Structure 1
Amino acid sequence: MTSDSPVSPTASAQSELVKESRMGALGSETGQREIRRISLADYEQRKAQIADELWSAAVDVGFFQIVDHGIDLAAVREAFATSERFFALPDAVKAQWPHQKANNVGWETKAQVRPSTGTPDQKESYQITRPHMAGLWPSEAELPGFKATMLAFEADCWALGMKVLSCFADKLGFASDFFTGAHDPASPEYQSTLRLLHYYAIPPEAQAHLDLWRAGAHTDFDCLTLLFQRPGQGGLQVCPGKEMDSQAWTSVEPDEAAITCNIGDMLMRWSDDLLPSNFHRVKNPQPGEYMGPRYSVAFFCQANRDAVIEGPAKKYPAITAGDYLRQRVAANFKPY
């Protein structure tokens, strides 16, 4: 598709939906695909080299892990411990802070149905999007230190995400701070999200017939996702879109020292499809594997609602990030 024959936003969203609906099969596992580990050490001095490494990994698989990233391990562990305390609250208490789909904030449980499976993901989650949190924070009496811990961790994630996106900006020919301006946290249009996730333990009666995914195959809507995983709580699998017909999946093992990153649909569009947003899922454990709860924390770098998405070659019509996300959500939740 050339720049003089643009793809409509609605057609693009529907195309993604059709692709996702084909990704519900079990498929097979392969260890032949490399999820590269990229060090961000000496970032300012090595930025050009880091940008080359990130670009190569992103173009190849769409997923990579970053190490030496600057977020203290103690802060990661505190975020997980605080998240676990939140999810340990009774559902009746968490229901005080209900999910608002329009603003992507608040608590939800078994509410996300993937087109790839047609069944709810077996998890609960709590979304933090800074400008829209009025009335959605647990009080200090209910959960001491929760708000302060999560806001500090969100800020750390944002700063790291902007470093990575700055490398992609350089490779795309944008100004180095292009994506930083498009994700301005001081703006009321800010819509980057910190998401706390709790996948439910597998009950004994279900362990012999695990026919549901913890999270069905999907791509992310954002520019860039940073995913933190706990050791021993695996399940994340990756399948590049160019290999979706074979449905050969690669497991990404949890590592406290590494943050798993992936390109989202928004950056794929912004790059004129040079950077692929690829499928991933969370599989159920198999007999003999750990059946307990799984916790993860994800930060989604989503451009501000008023940011205009337009690639260097203008392959797609210009669209605001707010309109783009609304169309993607509408396409994903439309009956099919």
Structure 2
Amino acid sequence: MTTTTATTRETPRYGLKELELETTFGGFGKESSREIPVIDMTDFDQRRQEITDQLWQAATDVGFFQLANHGLDVAQVKRAFALSEAFFALPEDQKQHFPLKEGLNSGWEFMSQVRPSTGTADQKESFQITLPYMDDLWPNQTVVPEFQRVMLDFEHRAWQLGMQVLSCFAERLGFDRDFFTKAHDRRKPDYQSTLRLLHYLPVADADLEDETLWRAGAHTDFDCLTMVFQREGQGGLQVSPGKLAEGAGDQREWFSVTPKDELITCNIGDMLMRWSDDRLKSTLHRVRMPKPGDYNGPRYSMAFFCQANKEVNIEGPEGKYPPITARDYLLQRIQANFAGKK
């Protein structure tokens, strides 16, 4: 199956190199098999150097990796999934009380994300939790009991794990160990890391052959580090890592990530790639539609995006890219993805 790949226009539509590149990612490509590195986080403090070596190898080669024995209880993850599903099961007129706040990554949206790679709306809805902007966006106890409490706890635990991973990259890049922890300070009003709850819509048989539709079109993430929680049996996430994605066009290779309850799938984002002067790889990924014969019911996932605070300057040790604030960088990426359907 092939699709027409979007091409970069003579007059750039987007202000960032990353976005112009993303317009070339729309082809279906070739599916292949490959293992993603699994990194055991057991005894992190005692094994920091070993774990750092493994993270660096995975991030510079593949850009994707999975964390095992990471300290987040599977039961807590499943509880968050159950509440996420309960929220998305609400009638649309109730979910409309929590609308996405423009440019702030907070609230509910339905099929409003249009990737530069595809030009069509992702077949999903999401609820985004970014702490400084949530005052009027929490469903109360009578709507989804325990939603706010559980999600705040889950967001905090995900942030702690993300900062642990980023501390390893900080040291390898020559920064202080807590460099990225300070850059993602949860106590500050310009904090903009996001927990995103995702519901990919069930797929009707008639849509299975529609080559213009994607659950999530090919893209790289905006942030420093993404941690994705998946439900077993609900696949579709595909990766085209490192050199497999560079200049390959429609011949780009893609391989599937098998979801497992006990593993967290992680990838490097564009923010960290810039901060590392391209030493760390921001990895191309997508969520494909089911094929005929596949499970085509609803698919749920949760992603935590480690996004530096707004006032933080993104500038690598070698100065490969001009400095840009995390506010301006993220805003450009959000605007390009939520600009409306074409």
Q: 2:293 aligns with which of 288, 291, 297?
A: 288
Give 1:143 shift: 1.1
Q: Which amino acid aligns with 2:169?
A: F
Q: Are 1:231 and 1:254, in contact at CA under 8 Å, matched by a contact in 2?
A: yes
Q: Which amino acid aligns with 1:52?
A: D
Distance 1:281 1:172, change over 3 A: same
Map 1:301-312 → 2, pairs under 5 A: 301-312=306-317
Q: Are 2:98 and 2:107, in contact at CA under 8 Å, matched by a contact in 1?
A: yes
Alignment of 1:22 onto 2:24:
yes
Give 1:329 shift: 3.0
Map 1:152-301 → 2, pairs under 5 A: 152-207=153-208, 209=210, 211-244=212-245, 245=248, 246-301=251-306
Distance 1:330 1:201, change over 3 A: closer
For 1:94 and 1:53, locate their aligned partners in 2 and report how far apart those are by CA, in whole Å. 42
Residue equivalent to 1:328: 333
Q: Are 1:13 and 1:331, in contact at CA under 8 Å, matched by a contact in 2?
A: no
4+ runs of 1 displaced by more than 6 Å? none
Q: Are 2:14 and 2:336, in contact at CA under 8 Å, matched by a contact in 1?
A: no
Q: Report which stretch shifted further, 99-108 or 12-21.
A: 12-21
- 1:280 aligns to what SS in structure 2? strand
For 2:337 and 2:300, locate their aligned partners in 1 and report how far apart those are by CA, in whole Å. 25
Residue equivalent to 2:56: 55
Residue equivalent to 2:4: none
Q: Report which stretch shifted further, 206-215 or 103-112.
A: 206-215
- 2:139 aligns to what SS in structure 1? coil
Residue equivalent to 1:317: 322
Alignment of 1:66 onto 2:67:
yes
- 1:163 aligns to what SS in structure 2? helix
For 2:312 and 2:14, locate their aligned partners in 1 and report how far apart those are by CA, in whole Å. 19
Q: Are 2:111 and 2:122, in contact at CA under 8 Å, matched by a contact in 1?
A: yes
Q: Are 1:182 and 1:304, in contact at CA under 8 Å, matched by a contact in 2?
A: yes
Residue equivalent to 1:98: 99
For 1:308 and 1:12, locate their aligned partners in 2 and report how far apart those are by CA, in whole Å. 21
Give 1:209 shift: 4.6
Count of aligned positions: 326
- 2:46 aligns to what SS in structure 1? helix
For 2:224 and 2:167, locate their aligned partners in 1 and report how far apart those are by CA, in whole Å. 12
Distance 1:13 1:240, change over 3 A: farther
- 2:127 aligns to what SS in structure 1? strand
Give 1:151 shift: 0.2
Q: CA RMSD in A?
A: 1.8
Map 1:3-42 → 2, pairs under 5 A: 13-31=15-33, 33-42=34-43
Map 1:54-133 → 2, pairs under 5 A: 54-133=55-134
Give the TM-score normalised by structure 1. 0.93
Alignment of 1:44 onto 2:45:
yes
Task: Describe the superposition over 1:96-153 as per-residue Cα deviations: whole angstroms up to 9, x where unpaired.
Answer: 0000122110000000001111100000000000011021110111111000010000
Distance 1:200 1:21, change over 3 A: same
Residue equivalent to 1:4: none
Q: Which amino acid aligns with 2:26?
A: G
Q: Are 1:17 and 1:332, in contact at CA under 8 Å, matched by a contact in 2?
A: no
Q: Are 1:308 and 1:319, in contact at CA under 8 Å, matched by a contact in 2?
A: yes
Q: Are 2:103 and 2:334, in contact at CA under 8 Å, matched by a contact in 1?
A: no
For 2:70 and 2:276, locate their aligned partners in 1 and report how far apart those are by CA, in whole Å. 24
Give 1:11 shift: 11
- 1:70 aligns to what SS in structure 2? coil
User: Unpaired segments of 5 or more residues in structure 1?
Assistant: 1-9
Identity of aligned residues (%): 58
User: Unpaired segments of 5 or more residues in structure 2?
Assistant: 1-11
For 2:317 and 2:208, locate their aligned partners in 1 and report how far apart those are by CA, in whole Å. 50
For 1:60 and 1:285, locate their aligned partners in 2 and report how far apart those are by CA, in whole Å. 28
For 2:223 and 2:180, locate their aligned partners in 1 and report how far apart those are by CA, in whole Å. 12
For 2:13 and 2:160, locate their aligned partners in 1 and report how far apart those are by CA, in whole Å. 33
